[in-house]
Amino acid sequence: MTPPAPTSDADAGLLALMELLRARGYAFVTPTPSTHALVRDRREAGAADLLRDIFGWTRPFKADLVDAGLWETMQAAQVVISDGSHCRAALRASTVAGRLYLHSAPTQDNDAVFLGPDSYRYARLIDDVLGDSRIEQALDIGTGAGVGALTILADRPDARVWGSDINPEALRLAGINALHNGLSLRTTLASGVPAGPQRFDLIVANPPYIAGDAGRTYRDGGEDLGTALALSWVRQGLDRLTSGGRFVLYTGAPVVAGRDVVFDALSDLVRGKEMTLSYEEIDPDVFGRTLRQRAYRDVERIAAVGAVITAP
């Protein structure tokens, strides 16, 4: 299937910007927000590492540092924000497994399009699960910048892969990222699993998992220590798997009094359904600062975990 053409001048401009970044050898690995803020504030943007300063570290930059070709491309892509005597980029660009993705610059906005350290672990988990299994239809719930969906498509380019998200801007950027990488992604606006008759050989999800962050959709995991959204997506998805289909969940798991809240909940979900659960603690301690929040007063740590549920 040939990827569709961009649907607007702004989208075409973003694709041209991504092509320019690739042609100039751009690469950037997105760190945690705290690391990003610390490193970004060390200095202003400079000519020596200008592309990574602008599109990776999102440092303010002076327009006269930018050559005419880059400036014209940025203007066509509508990513230049004037900020007094400096400018800054409205979007970031990051590389995951050699593929370039556009996503939101650091912001408190509710409609931000997330890509961060979790995205790298998520992509590796999916790669580990894919193996040589048959995948004709797949779904990435809450696709964001499209990392999960494009990880599947890069390995299974002939599969029909959907990316769903509640955020239209996420679907827009995921579609542009797919076009740039030569992959044919189908997108659909939905909260959780889209309504419809389709069944999927593979469903993957990297949901928000922070409690008490209702102002930001891309972070708020809902009630029950931020696990409610993830568990809701799993419940929806299990009924849409084909025979032998798999649901792959990457999420944060609060540990209370030595017990993993997500593992216990998933074990309850599959009990009596003849489904199998494989579970791995990928990183024992992420988002440690979150434990300062009142909602986490009984939580010892938050682990990054990967779960695979296989239908009978």
**Residue 79 confidence class, pLDDT cut points 50, 70, 90:** very high
Asked if residue 153 and residue 76 are part of one domain, the reply reads no
**Long-range contacts from 7-16, C-beta under 8 angstroms, 24+ separation:** 9/76, 10/76, 10/77, 10/78, 11/172, 11/175, 11/176, 12/76, 13/73, 13/75, 13/76, 13/77, 13/78, 14/77, 14/79, 14/91, 14/102, 14/176, 15/176, 15/179, 15/180, 16/73, 16/76, 16/77
Considering the domain boundaries, does residue 3 fall inside one?
A: no
Asked if residue 59 and residue 140 are part of one domain, the reply reads no
Q: What pLDDT sits at residue 125?
A: 98
**Residue 1 confidence class, pLDDT cut points 50, 70, 90:** very low
Considering the domain boundaries, does residue 2 fall inside one?
A: no
Asked if residue 233 and residue 94 are part of one domain, the reply reads no
The H or E element that residue 230 is part of is helix 228-238
Given a contact cutoff of 8 angstroms between Cβ atoms, the answer to whether 232 and 221 are in contact is no
Number of domains the chain is built from: 2
Asked if residue 116 and residue 73 are part of one domain, the reply reads no
Asked if residue 79 and residue 17 are part of one domain, the reply reads yes
Q: What pLDDT sits at residue 216?
A: 53
Considering the domain boundaries, does residue 44 fall inside one?
A: yes
Write down which residue in 77, 98, 119 finishes a domain.
98
**pTM reported for the whole predicted model:** 0.93
Asked if residue 278 and residue 199 are part of one domain, the reply reads yes
Given a contact cutoff of 8 angstroms between Cβ atoms, the answer to whether 141 and 207 are in contact is yes
Dist CA 232 CA 141 (whole Å):
11
Dist CA 117 CA 285 (whole Å):
13
Dist CA 39 CA 37 (whole Å):
6
Q: If you search the block for the tokens 């892969």, which residue do you land on?
A: 161
Considering the domain boundaries, does residue 187 fall inside one?
A: yes
Asked if residue 179 and residue 290 are part of one domain, the reply reads yes
For residue 200, what are the β-bridge partners?
A: 241
Asked if residue 262 and residue 141 are part of one domain, the reply reads yes
Asked if residue 74 and residue 192 are part of one domain, the reply reads no
Asked if residue 179 and residue 59 are part of one domain, the reply reads no
Q: Residues of 37-72 as b/e, b for ≥16 C-beta within 10 angstroms?
A: eeebeeeebeeeebbbbbbbbbbbbeeebbeeebee
Considering the domain boundaries, does residue 174 fall inside one?
A: yes
Range of the domain at 54: 9-98
The pLDDT tens digits of the residues spanning 182-236 come to 999 999 999 999 998 899 999 999 999 988 655 555 556 678 899 999 999 999 9
Considering the domain boundaries, does residue 105 fall inside one?
A: no
How many CB atoms neighbour CB 32 within 10 A? 14
Considering the domain boundaries, does residue 273 fall inside one?
A: yes
Length of the chain counted residue by residue: 312
Higher-pLDDT residue of 224, 14: 14
The pLDDT tens digits of the residues spanning 238-290 come to 999 999 999 999 999 999 999 999 999 999 999 989 999 999 999 999 988 88
Mean pLDDT of the chain: 93
Write down which residue in 55, 73, 98 finishes a domain.
98
Q: DSSP 3-state assignment of 274?
A: coil
Q: How far apart are the first and last CA of the chain?
A: 31
Considering the domain boundaries, does residue 104 fall inside one?
A: no
Statement: residue 108 has pLDDT above 80: no
Q: What is the CATH number of the domain that holds 285?
A: 3.40.50.150
Statement: residue 2 has pLDDT above 50: no
Asked if residue 152 and residue 228 are part of one domain, the reply reads yes
The H or E element that residue 141 is part of is strand 137-141
Q: What pLDDT sits at residue 106?
A: 83
Asked if residue 196 and residue 164 are part of one domain, the reply reads yes
Statement: residue 3 has pLDDT above 80: no
Write down which residue in 98, 131, 160 finishes a domain.
98
Measuring CA to CA, how many Å separate 254 from each of 226, 247, 271, 286? 8, 20, 21, 10
